[in-house]
């Protein structure tokens, strides 16, 4: 029996499994390369200060892996993103983003703390940064919004007397 696309359940959703995720990021270097491909789409490191692409990679990666020839400042893939100011490894960031994005009801900082092996304080920091990134630039629910099959309000009997549509009391007075 063929099922139409509207009736497909959760088992038919597309995505990657946790095993595939861990295979994508076996080490820190693979996570760094993935973030660089996302942030620098053309593959050329771009200075976040001056926007210059006249950059080079520092041989010993200290203090940061890239340096801009125009403004002479060092930078990394973390600069100018939600990853800035964090000492959490990029691999843990990638896994944390996956966990937050794929969980239907949200993730607590305690769950991230246990799953990623970081402190709860770091997990809270990470969670707020991820939520901020997911919430920025979102144009959903602006202007006229139409919602079907929604009831806004409550039962008439639970409302305060001044809010009820019928101003009669229980005894008809």
In this structure, are residues 81 and 107 in contact, taking their beta carbons and an 8 Å threshold? no
- Give the residue ranges of the chain where pLDDT is below 50: 1, 3, 173
State residue 1's pLDDT score.
Answer: 43
Q: Distance between CA atoms of 35 and 81, rounded to whole angstroms? A: 10
DSSP letter at 2? Answer: P
Task: Find, among 78, 6, 8, the residue nearest to 45 by Cα.
Answer: 78
**Residue 160 belongs to a domain:** no
Shared domain for 86 and 71, answered yes or no, is: no
Shared domain for 45 and 123, answered yes or no, is: no
State residue 50's pLDDT score.
Answer: 79
Chain position carrying tokens 């019928």: 166
Task: Find, among 158, 111, 154, the residue nearest to 130 by Cα.
Answer: 111
**Residue 123 belongs to a domain:** yes
State residue 26's pLDDT score.
Answer: 92
Other CB atoms within a 10 A radius of the CB of residue 26 amount to 10
**What percent helix, strand, coil does the chain show, rounded to 5?**
40, 5, 55
Q: What is the pLDDT of residues 112-133, one digit of tens each?
A: 999 999 999 999 999 999 888 8
Shared domain for 110 and 57, answered yes or no, is: no
State residue 120's pLDDT score.
Answer: 94
Give the dihedral sign, CA 36/40/44/49.
Answer: negative
Q: Distance between CA atoms of 4 and 153, rounded to whole angstroms? A: 35
Shared domain for 49 and 124, answered yes or no, is: no
Q: Does the predicted model carry a pTM greater than 0.75?
A: no
> Crossing angle of helices 28-39/90-102, nearest 10°?
70
Q: Which domain holds residue 24?
A: 15-40+82-133
């Amino acid at each position: 029996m063929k099922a139409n696309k509207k009736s497909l359940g959760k088992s038919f959703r597309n995505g990657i499994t946790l095993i595939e995720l861990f295979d994508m990021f076996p080490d820190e270097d693979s996570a760094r390369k993935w973030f660089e491909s996302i942030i620098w789409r053309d593959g050329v490191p771009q200075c976040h200060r001056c926007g210059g692409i006249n950059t080079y990679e520092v041989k010993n990666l200290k203090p940061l892996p890239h340096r801009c020839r125009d403004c002479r400042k060092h930078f990394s893939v973390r600069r100018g993103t939600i990853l800035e100011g964090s000492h959490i490894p990029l691999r843990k960031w990638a896994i944390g983003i996956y966990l937050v994005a794929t969980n239907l009801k949200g993730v607590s900082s305690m769950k991230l703390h246990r799953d990623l092996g970081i402190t709860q304080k770091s997990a809270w920091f990470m969670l707020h940064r991820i939520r901020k990134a997911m919430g920025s630039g979102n144009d959903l629910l602006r202007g006229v919004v139409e919602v079907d099959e929604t009831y806004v309000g409550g039962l008439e009997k639970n409302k305060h007397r001044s809010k009820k549509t019928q101003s009669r009391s229980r005894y008809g007075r």
